[in-house]
Amino acid sequence: YRSRELSSKVERAPATMMNADMDAVEAENQVELEEKTRLINQVLELQHTLEDLSARVDAVKEENLKLKSENQVLGQYIENLMSASSVFQTTDTKSKRK
């Protein structure tokens, strides 16, 4: 009777160890899955941030070009005003002396 009981315990031991090993593997797989999910979410968030920054850079470039154009128009306008005004005319001292 005792040898059958001992034999039964020996047979159950590998099954119990196998279940423990499977549980450990499942837990490890779960941790890996959670880590992958976290990394994927982080990558997606970074992609969205990059898209937002890229759109902002494009908007700033467009605004910069607009301001440059306005500055050129204003610069030309100021030059025209200065050339039309006698206050800003260059004086040639040699021609005045003659």
Sign of CA dihedral 82, 87, 90, 96: positive
Select the more confidently predicted residue: 17 or 45: 45
Determine if the pTM surpasses 0.75.
Answer: no
The DSSP string of the chain is -HHHHHHHHHHHHHHHHHHHHHHHHHHHHHHHHHHHHHHHHHHHHHHHHHHHHHHHHHHHHHHHHHHHHHHHHHHHHHHHHHHHSGGG----HHHHH-
Asked if 82 contacts 88 with a C-beta cutoff of 8 angstroms, the reply is yes
Mean pLDDT of 66-83: 95
pLDDT tens digits, 20-69: 777 888 889 899 999 999 999 999 999 999 999 999 999 999 999 999 99
- Give pLDDT, residue 12: 53
- Give pLDDT, residue 21: 76
